[in-house]
Chains A and B, each alone.
Chain A
Amino acid sequence: MKEHLLPAIKLTLISLVFFCVIYPALIGGIAQVSPNKGKGFLVEQKGKVYYENIGQAFYSDQYFWSRPSAVSYNAAGSCGSNKGPSNPDYLVLVQQRIDTFMVHNPGVKKSDIPADLITASGSGLDPHISPKAAAVQIKRIAKSRNLSEAKVTELVNQSIEKPFLGLFGPESVNVLQLNLKLEKL
C-alpha cells in the first residue's frame, strides 16, 4: 500500500485539474454561446422576468392553476410529497383538493378532473399540466375574465406542447406561458 500512496496523491491532484477545472471550464465556456448563457431559459413580459422551466403557484380564479406542490413553488429548494399511495392522511388531502377544485369550478364533473391536478409533482416545481387539466379550467377562466369559452379554448389548444417529434412522450401545457398569453388578450 505504501508504494502506491505517493503516486495516488499525485494522480489525484492532476485529475482534479483535468476533471474539475478544465472540463467544467470548457462546458462553462460553451454555456456562454448557449441560449441565456447557461442561466436557464428566461421569459420576459411587461418588464418582469420569469424562468420558463420553473413552475409558479397560481391561486386566483383568473389564472390557470398549476399542480399542487410540496414546496409551494419556491425554487430555493425542491421536493416531492413522498407520500405513499396508501397513506390515509395523504388520501384525505387528495379529497380536500378535489373538494376545493369543485368549489372554485362549479359545474365541473368530478370525473373530468385529471389526476395531475390533485397530486403533487416530483420536483414541486413542475411547470406543466396536462391538456385535460387546462381544459377543465377553461370555464372558470372565461367567466372570471369575461371572455368567451371558445376564445380561451383556442388559446389552450395553441399552447399544447406536442410529444417529442410528434411521436414520443405525453402532451403537456406550460402553465406560465399559458397565463402570460392570457394576460396579453
Chain B
Amino acid sequence: MSYTELLGVLLFFFATFLLAIPLGKYIAKIYAGEKTLLDPIFNPIERTFFKWSGIDATKQMNWKQHLSAMLTINMVWFLMALFILMNQSWLPWNPDGNPNMTADLAFNTSISFLVNCNLQHYSGESGVSYFSQIFALMFLQFVSAATGMAAAAVLFNALRERISDQLGNFYNYFLKSATRILLPLCIIVSVILLFRGTPMTMEGKDTMISMEGDTIHVSRGPAAAFIAIKHLGTNGGGFFGVNSAHPFENPDYFTNIVEMVAQTIIPFAMIFALGFYLKRRKLAWMIFGVMTLEFVLLVVPAIISEVQGNPAIQAMGIDQSQGAMEGKEVRFGAAASGYWSIITTVISTGSVNAMHDSSMPISGLTQLLSMMVNAIYGGCGVGILNFYVFIILAVFISGLMVGRTPEFMGKKIEAREVKISMIVALFHGFLILVSTALASSIFINNPEIGWLNNPGFHGFSEMLYEYTSSSANNGSGFEGLGDNTPWWNISTGIVLLLSRFIPIIGPIAIAGILANKKYIPESAGTLKTDTATFGLMVFAVIVITAALSFFPALTLGPIAEYFSMR
C-alpha cells in the first residue's frame, strides 16, 4: 500500500467528522423549530405540503400516535412500490424494455427499500425501468431515511427534562428531515457527481464498437440524482448492479471521497445534533467516543487484511503489495475499499465499492460483526435509536452493580423499559441465527439447489451474511448467493420488516413512557451517564449482548476460512 492510500482513508474519516459538527447543529435547530438560513425557501413549500394534505403540523402527538402515523404512511408507500414494480413493463420510461418483477421479487424489493435496507435481488440495468428507479426506489430512499430521522427526532424530544406525553408532530419531523436536510445535500452531491462523469439521462442503452471491434451495449440512466440520496439517506441501493464499484456510479477517487462522506455524515451529525438539542454535549461525545472506539476496532483489521492480500495467490509467486484485488477497482485500491466495506456495514448503507464476497476472511468477519452489533453510528436516525437501547441496558446493569436506582436523564428506568430493551437487543440475534439455521438445513438436505457461489466455509458465510444484512437493514451482500428465488425473497422480506419496525417501536415506546415519568433532578447520588466510565460500560454491554452471541456462527464461517488458508 502506498502512503497516499493511507492518507485517503484518514481523509475520509476526518473530513466527515469536521463537516458533521456544523450539520449536527443545523439538524438540532430544525428539530427544535428554531430559525435557520433556508427558512425563506422551505417555509412556503412545507406550508403547501401540509395545506394540500390536510395536515395540522403543529398538532402534538404522543408516542402511540407517532407510531400510528408512521406505520400508516409506510403501508401506503409499500403498496405503491409493489404496484409500480409489478407493472413497470407498461408504465412509462422503460427504454430498455425491462420486464415486470415477479410477485416475490417485488415483495422483497418494496420492503427492502421501504425499510432503508436496499437488499437488491435484481440488477439495476436489467431488473427495473427508469420509472421504477425514480418513482418507487428513489422515492422510498427519501422517505425511509426521513422516517428514521423523524423517529430519532421523537426520541430527542422525549429525552428533554420535563414531564409530558406531547412529543411533537410526526409529519413535521418527517417532512423537514426530507426537505431541509436530505434534499439540499442531495443537490450538492448529485451536481458533483454529474461533473465527474456520472450520467443523468433518460435515454436507454447505448451501442458502441470497442477498439477491438466488439459490439457492446452501455447502460445509462438518471443515475446522479439517485446516487446522491442512496448515500445521504444511508440507503445503499445502487442504480447499477454493482453499486458504487461501477465506473459511472463512482467515477474516480474524488467521487469516492464525496460518496464516503455523504453516507457517513448524517449518522455522525445525528449524534452531535442530540448533544446540541439537549444541551448535553458531553453525552454526545460519550456516544461518539464509544462508537468510534468500536469502529476503529473493526476497520483496522479489515484494512490490514485487505492490504496484505491473498496468501493463496501469494503462494503462486504473485506479488501482493497491491493488496487483495479480486472484486476491487484499481482507482480506489485495497485500503479505500477495506475502509468503505466497514463504513457501509456499520452505518447500514450497504452500498459497496468492492465485492464483499471476495473479501479476505478477516474483513468478511469484521463486516459481519459491524452489522451484528448494529449500534455503531448506524443508519439515518435509527443508529441512535439502536444505541439508546444499549444505554438503557447499561444504565440498568451499572445501577445494579453500584446499588443505585437506575436513572437516565432524570427518569427512573424500571422493569417495563428494561424488558422492552432486552427484547429489542436479543431479537436481532434471534432473527439472524434462526433464519440462517433454517436456510442451512434446507441447503444441506437439498445440495442440488445451487444457491451458493463458493464451497465450504465461505458458502456458509454467504447465507449468514444475507440474513445479517437483512436484519441490520444494511443491504450489502455476499452477492455470489443466488438470492432471486422465492425462498430468499420471502424469508429476507419477513426478516426485513420485523427488524426495521421492532427497533423503532421499542425505543420510541421506552422514550414515550420515560417522558411521562416524574423528573428527578440530578443529585450527588445520580449515576453520571456522560462519563468515560459509563461509556466503557455501554461498550461492555454491546460486546457481551451483541458480539458474543454471534461467535459460534462466525466460527463456522469466516474464522474457519481464515484458519483453513494459513
Q: Chain A residues in contact with chain B, CB under 8 A? A: 1, 4-12, 14-16, 18-20, 23-24, 26-28, 30-31, 34-35, 37-41, 48-60, 63, 67, 73-88, 90-91, 94-95, 98, 110-116, 118-130, 132-133, 161, 163-164, 166-172, 176, 179-180, 183
Contacts and interface: CB of A to CB of B under 8 A. Distances in A.
Interface stretch (B184-192, B283-291, B385-393, B425-433): B184-192
Given A10-B54, A27-B224, A115 B208 contact: no
B484 to A, nearest CB: 14
A67 B330 contact: yes
A24 B134 contact: yes
Nearest to A124: B242
B281 interface: no
B561 interface: yes
A172 B5 CA distance: 12
A92 to B, nearest CB: 11
Contact of A1 (B71, B317, B459): B71
A171 to B, nearest CB: 8
Contacts of A19: 138-139, 142-143, 178, 183
15 contacts: A5-B72, A11-B171, A15-B142, A19-B138, A24-B225, A27-B191, A57-B214, A83-B453, A85-B326, A86-B456, A115-B323, A119-B327, A119-B328, A121-B327, A169-B8
B437 interface: no
Given A28-B200, A84-B453, 16 more contacts: A15-B49, A24-B134, A28-B225, A37-B201, A60-B212, A74-B216, A76-B216, A80-B355, A84-B480, A85-B310, A121-B245, A123-B242, A164-B8, A168-B11, A169-B333, A179-B211
A128 B205 contact: no
Contacts of A75: 216-219
A103 to B, nearest CB: 16
Contact of B211 (A63, A80, A168): A63
Interface in B265-319: 309-310, 312-313, 316-319
B323 A168 contact: no
B245 A115 contact: no
B41 to A, nearest CB: 13
B126 interface: yes
A10 to B, nearest CB: 4
A91 B317 CA distance: 13
A128 B400 CA distance: 59
Contact of A11 (B73, B211, B360): B73
Contacts of B219: 75-78
Contacts, number: 368
Which 8 A-B pairs have CB atoms at the shortest separation, nearest pair first? A82-B480, A122-B245, A84-B458, A80-B355, A38-B200, A169-B253, A170-B333, A10-B53
Contacts of A73: 210, 214, 216
Contacts of B2: 163, 170-171
Contact of A86 (B246, B312, B327): B312
A111 B318 contact: yes
Given A86-B456, A123-B242, A8 B247 contact: no
B253 A122 contact: no
Contact of A111 (B135, B179, B313, B319): B319
Nearest to B131: A20
B327 A80 contact: yes
A113 B76 contact: no
Contacts of A38: 194, 199-201, 224
Nearest to A28: B200
B80 interface: yes
Given A31-B194, A85-B565, A91-B313, A164 B71 contact: no
A121 B565 contact: no
B352 interface: yes
Contacts of A84: 357-358, 453-454, 458-459, 461, 480, 561
Contacts of A80: 242, 245, 326-327, 354-355, 357-358, 479
A134 to B, nearest CB: 11
B336 interface: yes
A60 B211 CA distance: 11
B7 A168 contact: yes
A116 B322 contact: yes
Contacts of A16: 135, 139
A25 to B, nearest CB: 9
Nearest to B55: A7
B173 interface: no
Interface string B476-487: 001110000000
A83 B454 contact: yes
A122 B205 contact: no
Highest count of chain B CB atoms <10 Å: which of A75, A77, A90: A75
A16 B222 CA distance: 16
A20 B319 contact: no
B328 A121 contact: yes
A121 to B, nearest CB: 6
Contacts of A6: 54
A23 B134 CA distance: 10
B75 to A, nearest CB: 8
Contacts of A40: 197-199, 218, 220, 248
A7 B53 contact: yes
Highest count of chain B CB atoms <10 Å: which of A56, A58, A82, A91: A82
Contacts of A132: 322
Contact of A23 (B77, B143, B225, B247): B225
B380 to A, nearest CB: 15
A170 B330 contact: yes
Contact of B312 (A77, A85, A113, A127): A85
